[in-house]
Amino acid sequence: MFDQVPTLLERLFLGRSIPRRAALAHHMPRWLVERIQRAEFQRTLQRAQALSPYYRRRFVEAGIEARALQRIQRPGQLGDFFTTSADLRTCDTREFLCAPPQAGFETTGTTAQNKRIYFSNEEVHDIGFEGAVGLWNLGLRPGDRVVDAFDYAFWNAGITLMHSLNAVGCFHMIASKLEPGEFYRRVKEYQFNVLVVDTAWLVSLTEIAQQQGTWPVKFILSGSENMSETTRGWVESVWKAKVYQAYGQTESLGASGIECPAQKGYHLNELNFLFEIINPNADGFGELVFSTLTRKTMPLVRYRSNDITRFLDDAEPCGCLLSCLRRVDKIQGRGDEIVSCGMGMISPWIFERWLDAAGESGLGARLADDWQVAVLQPGTRDIIELRLELREELREELREGAAAGNRGLEEELRQGLMAQFERIFPYYFKNLHMGLFDLRVVFLPRGTLRGPSAGTRRKLRRVVDERMPQAVLAAP
Ligand SMILES: [Zn+2]
């Protein structure tokens, strides 16, 4: 019977009108959400087993028989069966497919192999439609004028947003990720009162607006990465408007969650995904894992997001229209060494390529093997700090040069590295030029990064996010 519930819910209860859907969402009982999730999860497993060569093989390898699969209603019953980002990168993506795709997106620049995710047009439309309820909850109405400054290249966020804005019926224009100064010059006359933007890009725009003036804005929605509360406070004070954040990944079509007016965590999109937090520590922080519930083209079963967060309990109810959807806390860090920051999604692979290129250009002979990249945020903008250990003889040369008041050699080394950066990463260089982040190179004596007491056993973390409290980063 409950196989029919989502359809019935759609047709009889929620309907296709955004205001009606938003109003009714407020009254949707929690037990109904959970019952729908169980029915859809069961259906997703059946579909994956029947139509996806990848999942059929994985279920056999895990010893999960088709008949046993029919009895599974909760993700935890699958034990340690997960889908990881490494699976998406290393397996032939076509093996995941259960139907011919109509739309495709890529994750950007994190590793040598981008992840590819496929959808039907209907799935993209439906996720955007669901997102419209979240925007309505933030106060978006048909009379508003929205400008979207998301990057469109191979990325889904803008397309999903476009479907959301169509559903609400407001005026909108796509600025894509125009250079903030040019954006500022060109958009003022349109009187956009809602800005939907990339987080780091918003910081650059706000710096310009602080100098040259703002215009009346109802709210700003930023996506793509975490924004610190200090930065949010500053951006809000400049624009005199609330800044909300959305949370998602390409794998979830950018639609895992969205903040509500209370700005206390993201309401999860529980009609399209079933979320779990695995390996929680004493404070409840663990890795967020999701299964898709309504995707028929490329379903994902227990996909490990690598994002560390926790479910927020109901001790502080927000009272908004989406109260029946659980919330998660701000993302506290990545479970691995992929860090989302003003430069984009960065991982050790990027810096390995950079240093390889420097090596080929002759600079490498001067560098030791140890390096680390730290993401810092002393003010409002992320600083990407490349910490490079130098070979001892070069260190000596630099020391002698500095003592003689000559910093030429150090500067020459730095310029050589920056020239290589510009040559091999035009995309990141453009973001640097746009002021989305600062990049600095710090030279260190050999042995500094691993520390004197750590010996050689310690594995050096190549990318560290020092914007986050260390206590939280120590979580699993
Ligand atoms: Zn809320």
Structural domain ending residue among the three candidates 287, 317, 335? 335
Do 143 and 282 lie in a common domain? yes
Strands 437-444 and 257-259: unpaired
Judgement on whether residues 362 and 318 belong to the same structural domain of the protein: no
Q: Do 137 and 224 share a domain, yes or no?
A: yes
**Separation of CA 259 and ligand 1 centre (Å):** 7
Query: For 310-327, what is each residue's pLDDT tens digit?
Result: 999 766 788 899 988 999
Same domain as 152, residue 30: yes
| Tens-place pLDDT, residues 44-81 | 999 999 999 999 999 999 999 888 888 898 999 999 99
Ligand 1 centroid to Cα of residue 53, in Å, is: 39
At residue 150, the pLDDT reads 85
3-class secondary-structure state, position 15: coil
pLDDT at 192 exceeding the cut of 90 = yes
CA of 325 to the centre of ligand 1 (A): 8
302 shares its domain with 351: no
Q: Are the C-beta atoms of 265 and 310 separated by less than 8 Å?
A: no
Q: Which of 335, 354, 385 marks a domain boundary?
A: 335
Owning domain of residue 439:
341-473
Whether residues 268 and 405 fall in one domain: no
Residue-wise over 255-277: b if at least 16 C-beta within 10 A, else e? Answer: bbbbbbeeeebbbbbbbbbbbbb
- The pLDDT value recorded for residue 455 is 39
Report how far ligand 1's centroid is from the alpha carbon of 315 (Å).
Answer: 13
Q: Are residues 218 and 95 in the same domain?
A: yes
Task: Over range 92-102, report the average pLDDT.
Answer: 93
Sequence-distant (≥ 6) Cβ neighbours of residue 245 within 8 angstroms: 199, 221, 222, 223, 226, 227, 232, 258, 259, 266
What confidence score (pLDDT) does residue 367 get?
A: 67
252 CA to centre of ligand 1 in angstroms: 20
Higher confidence at residue 31 or residue 404?
31
d(CA 389, CA 347): 19
Residue 400 in this model has a pLDDT that exceeds 90: no
Last residue of a domain, one of 291, 308, 335: 335
**429 and 298 co-located in one domain:** no
Report CA(314)–ligand 1 centroid distance (Å): 11
Number of Cβ within 10 Å of residue 121's Cβ equals 12
Cα torsion 149, 25, 253, 306: sign: positive
331 and 349 belong to one structural domain:
no
Chain center to CA of 352: 22
Range of weakest confidence among 195-199, 344-348, 378-382: 344-348
Radius of gyration of the chain (CA): 24
Residues forming beta bridges with residue 266, ordered by sequence position: 259, 328
214 and 94, same domain (yes or no): yes
| Sheet bearing 367-376, strands edge to edge | 437-444, 382-390, 367-376, 463-465
Give me the CATH number covering residue 25: 3.40.50.12780
Q: Are residues 238 and 325 in the same domain?
A: yes
User: Tell me, what CATH number does 404's domain have?
Assistant: 3.30.300.30
Question: Does residue 462 or residue 278 have the better pLDDT?
Answer: 278
- Same domain? For 290 and 389 the reply is no
Number of domains making up the chain: 2
Give, rounded to a whole angstrom, the gap between the first and last alpha carbons of the chain. Answer: 40
